[in-house]
Chains A and B, each alone.
Chain A
Amino acid sequence: MSEPLIFHFDVDGDNFTSAGQASVTIKKDLRRLGLSSEIIRRVSIAMYEGEINMVIHAGGGVADVRVFEEYIEIVLTDRGPGISNIDQAMQEGFSTAPDAIRSLGFGAGMGLPNMKRYTDDMKIETVVGEGTTITMRVNLT
């Protein structure tokens, strides 16, 4: 199998207005690779939700995207507070976002459910007090 294409992004935890930069860049890169608009839409929305979560809830992190022949893998890693109850966090409507964030239109508690919905596989590894790694896959075949 040929080597995957790798994209790496540092997601700045302080700059809320530029949040989403990695996802917007990925969208352009994937379009250049000639992937279908449906695949691009799913990958970039899932990644945006994860990126915004790292900014809001974890003080930033890193995003790695690998494009294989058969699937795209997105790995989001942060050193934030971790998620103490994953089942609860995955529920539609559950959010701990502060008011200032809500006034920007976030905090509906729909981000993690969207990430699951738009990807074929999603795994959350988290340790309270240490951080969270979310791995998502979107199949290309």
Chain B
Amino acid sequence: MTVHELLQLPDLTALCLEDGEREIDGVYIGDLLSWVMGRAQSGNAWITIMSNINVLAVASLADVSCVILAEGVTLSEELLTAAKEKGINVLSSSKPAYETARLLFGSLS
């Protein structure tokens, strides 16, 4: 399933969709950046509640397919610009991380 297709799900909105055709391959949940860099796989959707410039750097380096900000967290204008520049897909979910993961589980499998 692509990031674009994932956006058909209720509760998810696109904050920055730079590469909607990217395939989603699995999910990783975490807020501590070094855990994400050590454990997330390339292509994973990364669910987090952190929203700062370092999250964008990690998303790019770890090569995740998209960042999903749980709990309705959003990006500031400045971060939105940075996400666009870096070509990172960023979505926002109105649900907590667990509910968001359940939503993805239903669609990915």
- B42 engages A24 (CB within 8 Å): no
Given contacts A37-B42, A48-B57, A114-B37, contact A105 B52 (CB under 8 A): yes
- A105 adjacent to B50 (CB under 8 Å): yes
Query: Which of A105, A110, A113 counts the most chain B CB atoms within 10 A?
Result: A105
Residues of B close to A41: CB separation below 8 A:
42, 61-63
The chain B residue with its CB closest to the CB of A43 is B61
Contact (Cβ within 8 A) B63 A37: yes
Structural contact, A111 and B34, CB atoms closer than 8 A: yes
Complex interface residues of chain B between 47 and 64 (CB less than 8 A to chain A): 50, 52-55, 57-58, 60-63
Is the Cβ of A110 less than 8 Å from the Cβ of B53?
no
Interface residues of B (CB under 8 A from A): 31-35, 37-38, 42, 50, 52-55, 57-58, 60-63, 86
16 more contacts with CB within 8 A, not counting A23-B61, A48-B61, are A23-B57, A24-B57, A27-B60, A41-B63, A45-B62, A48-B37, A49-B34, A105-B32, A105-B50, A106-B34, A107-B32, A108-B33, A110-B32, A110-B35, A110-B37, A110-B38
Give the B-binding residues of A (Cβ under 8 A): 17, 19-20, 23-24, 27, 37-38, 41, 44-45, 48-49, 104-111, 113-114, 117
